[in-house]
Amino acid sequence: MSAATRSGRSRRAPDKLCVEAVELARAAAEETALPGTVGEHIEAVAEGDRVVTHYFACLQPAYRGWRWATTVARASRAKVVTLDESVLLPGPDSLLAPEWVPWSERLRPGDLGPGDLLPTDADDLRLEPGFSGEDTPPPNSAVSEEAATAAAEAEAPPEQAPEDVTPAPSRGSVKAVAEELGMGRARVLSRYGLQEAADRWEESHGPRTAMAQAAPGPCVSCAFLVPLAGSLKQGFGVCANEFSPADGRVVSLAFGCGGHSEAAVMPKAPQPPAPVLDETRNDELSLAD
């Protein structure tokens, strides 16, 4: 009989003989439990026709709130109550282990250490197929045959070019275009993956952070900002100011800090004038005795 069945409350009237079999149930519980750990009888619950579970308090300190549950049963028209089973079950107030969570959901940023491997799902939403050079890209893709042909035509030498001039090798090929766009990988970031990254960076180094609110200017006008490539460059860059707390981080163009290159330009120290040599008169020097 399952624990779920045991913990449920039946509306049936419990069988009288089964309810009276408290000592039989207690003996079974004591046989299963450690000596002296079966406490007082708590209740008798009908599980079905002529099937009753007796609950006893568990006195083990480590199992506070748990209960010994012994199920007894009686055959139809029989006068004898027999033992079914005896187990330890959690009660309504017992301390339980939290629900198990798979490691992939427990993982947090920063958990990955040197030598660790973090597998990605084959259907990871953050990723989508890239272009390896062997497959055919979709017709509307930036590396489609049409786009590659157009690129090749643009790269092709003029018709009147001398014959001994060798045209540039395969710059317009689909594979070359894919590599130039950074798509020559088995998988690339999907739109969802890009959006997730942008949200994260916006939160950590975006215009709503305290640092940005107090900054003298936004990163977009700072000389220390290194632009990104791809669609993310519209909103983000990398800070390259070693004195900024965001050095080496991806920052929103609307982020900012006190290290902004144009916030306070130090004036150059004034140069002392060149020494003047007066050659028109002599200085009299007193000689020592």
- In the complex, which residues of this chain contact ligand SF4 (CB under 6 A)? 219, 222, 224-225, 239, 241, 244, 246, 251, 255-257, 259-260
Report the residue number, 141 or 252, with the smaller CB distance to ligand SF4.
252
Q: What is the DSSP letter of 284?
A: P
Burial class (CB in 10 A: 0-12, 13-18, 19+), 68: buried
Q: Which of 148, 15, 152, 187 is nearest to 84 (CA)?
A: 15
Report the residue number, 52 or 212, with the smaller CB distance to ligand SF4.
212
Q: How far is the CB of 208 from ligand SF4 (least distance, A)?
A: 15
DSSP 127-160: EEE---SSSPPPTTSTTSHHHHHHHHHHHSPPTT
Report the residue number, 197 or 220, with the smaller CB distance to ligand SF4.
220
**Neighbour-count burial for 230-250, b at 16+ CB within 10 Å, e otherwise:** eebeebbbbbebeebebeeeb
Distances (CA, A) of 252 to 67, 142, 208, 244, 265: 57, 26, 10, 14, 23
Q: How far is the CB of 91 from ligand SF4 (least distance, A)?
A: 56
Q: How far is the CB of 234 from ligand SF4 (least distance, A)?
A: 16
Report the residue number, 33 or 251, with the smaller CB distance to ligand SF4.
251
Q: How far is the CB of 165 from ligand SF4 (least distance, A)?
A: 45
If one counts every other C-beta atom within 10 angstroms of the C-beta of residue 253, the result is 20
Let me know: does 42 contact 55? Beta carbons within 8 Å. Answer: yes
DSSP 60-88: -GGGTTEEEEEEEEE-TT---EEEEEEEE
Q: How far is the CB of 96 from ligand SF4 (least distance, A)?
A: 47
DSSP 182-198: T--SSEEE-HHHHHHHH
Q: How far is the CB of 262 from ligand SF4 (least distance, A)?
A: 9
Report the residue number, 193 or 258, with the smaller CB distance to ligand SF4.
258
Report the residue number, 167 or 248, with the smaller CB distance to ligand SF4.
248
Residue with tokens 């619950």: 45
Q: Which amino acid is present at 74?
A: R
Q: How far is the CB of 235 from ligand SF4 (least distance, A)?
A: 13
Report the residue number, 70 or 244, with the smaller CB distance to ligand SF4.
244
Q: How far is the CB of 195 from ligand SF4 (least distance, A)?
A: 22
Report the residue number, 68 or 224, with the smaller CB distance to ligand SF4.
224
